[in-house]
Amino acid sequence: MSALETSEKGALLAVSKLTKLFGPFAACNAIDLEIRPGEIHALLGENGAGKSTLVKMLFGVLAPSSGQIFWKGQPVRISSPGEARRTGIGMVFQHFSLFEALTVAENIALSLDPGISLAKIADEAATLSRNYGLPLDPHSHVADLSVGERQRIEIVRALLQNPSLIILDEPTSVLTPQEADRLFETLNKLKAEGRSVLYISHRLEEVQRICDRATVLRHGKVTGACDPRQETPASLARMMVGGEVHSVKRISDVPTGAVQLEAVHLSVAARTPFAVSLKDINLRVRAGEILAIAGVAGNGQGELFDALSGEYPVQDNDAVRIRQNPVGRLGISARRLMVAGVVPEERHGHAAVTGLSLSDNLVLARHKSDRKAFISGPLKLIKSAAVKAAAKRISDAMDVRKSGEDPPAGSLSGGNLQKFIVGRELDRQPAVLIVNQPTWGVDAGAASRIRQALIDLARGGSAVLVISQDLDEIFEVATEIAVISEGKLSAPYPASELSMEKIGLLMGGMHEPKSVSAEATHAH
């Protein structure tokens, strides 16, 4: 049945042969899709499958190269986000577009008609947030709000325009389990009102739980559709990747060795008005361990990574130690010379320069720690052959799929670039690895490979510290788990002794009754 035929039979939105070309490359290739009134419809696919390109066309951010969009049975041309909103389509992006110095109401006002008074916007936002179980104070400044509250602003902002269809991109990636449950209640309320939701998520258990139907994209084409409630996470993953996704083999009964990474009474003042201060952080990671740090975004994870990695050295040299050596005042390069590896959260522009080739990015990250391998002679010339051989070795080991032998980093999909960045650090077999959000926005196949690589590194005797907002990931890889909230770190718990409910409460700010001493944090 064609998209036009389905739209005539009552689909809210339908697309027929929708295609988007970037030069000769088809990011979306003749896609047919229909979304019915009052349904939650999942859009699934690996990184680079075409999901983002498709929804950007639906929301007017990109213009289709060919094909047609139908709204309530009529062909439409959506030329801008404003046109999409007037049509009846709202969207909540994965990365929020909020000004921290403004209030909730002021942020909402930026996307509405300028003739509406701020007082009226505040009143309507307060009423709507109560009605949908999304409590917000319209007069609060965004800088003072949790990430979950910030997401509510985006949803309320979309709902104030009375959309018939709301597109949500990875909506639970920054939420505690309790906040995610509240979001699902809101989505079911919207569904009961006859509104539709297009739901994009890599968390397949969520898709099973709340979605009525699912459409699967692979390599820019629709490759399947199903009722996710009749599937399993494993079968959904197989549909996405076109084959089996290998399960992760956890660490079991691996003896731990000496302490490799340590923070001792680490306190760091906030560098900006919107940053978080670290307050008396104590942790130890031994050889063979993976300590995972859980927490809702914005509670000090970035600041902790900066202090441990050396991106922002701290005043107290003894506050951070690598292999018993005080390194608090040392930068990243000096810590890498102590056989430490670091993977920051942001791939583009931070972990990699997108305009440079993979081999050039490898040199930037390792020219000091691998000086003899990559640099020769008094003129300090780069050994191009050696660098390219190393880049190929990393790509092969991590199954990095790319368009050429040594393409620009920015040409890779997010998941493939992340695999290369993680592989770049693993290739050195570091004694200590500090990684922030290792599988952020990464599909099931790439996430499985990255997680297994972290486990294998620890199994080989390295100490691994993982900062992650993905609780499924944390329980999959960690030997021990601690929770960061408002710049404070809880005592570590053996992963086998924590439940989702307990970790969710800790993430929400239920601190330990007493502070944890450095000596007690990792008793064995």
Residue 214 inside a domain? The answer is no
Phi, psi at 473, each rounded to 5°: -65, -45
Residue 502 inside a domain? The answer is yes
Q: What is the largest CA-CA distance in the chain?
A: 74
Distance CA 503, CA 229 (A): 27
> What is the mean pLDDT of the segment spanning 50-64?
94
Residue 494 inside a domain? The answer is yes
| Of the listed ranges 32-41, 46-55, 73-82, the one predicted with least confidence | 46-55
Residue 413 inside a domain? The answer is yes
Q: Is residue 518 pLDDT above 70, yes or no?
A: no
Contacts of 54 (CB under 8 A, 6+ apart): 15, 18, 20, 28, 31, 33, 43, 217
pLDDT tens, 178-225? 778 888 999 999 999 999 999 998 888 899 999 999 999 998 999 999
Provide the 3-class DSSP secondary structure of residue 307.
helix
Number of structural domains (the chain) is 1
Q: 114 exposed, middle or buried (CB, 10 Å; 0-12, 13-18, 19+)?
A: exposed
Residue 101 inside a domain? The answer is no
Measured over the CA atoms of residue 232, residue 236, residue 239 and residue 245, the dihedral's sign is negative
Please report the DSSP string for 202-219 in residue order: S-HHHHHHH-SEEEEEET
- Residue 356 belongs to domain spanning: 259-507
pLDDT tens, 378-392? 767 888 888 999 999
pLDDT of residue 520: 37
* Distance between first and last Cα of the chain: 63
Buried b (16+ CB within 10 A) or exposed e, 398-430: bebebeeebebbebbbbbbbbbbbbbbbbbbeb
Residue 127 inside a domain? The answer is no
Residue 486 inside a domain? The answer is yes
pLDDT tens, 30-45? 999 999 999 999 999 8
Residue 425 inside a domain? The answer is yes
pLDDT tens, 91-148? 988 777 889 899 999 999 998 878 889 999 999 999 998 888 888 899 999 888 877 7
Which CATH number goes with the domain that contains 360? 3.40.50.300
pLDDT tens, 250-279? 766 667 899 999 999 999 999 877 788 999
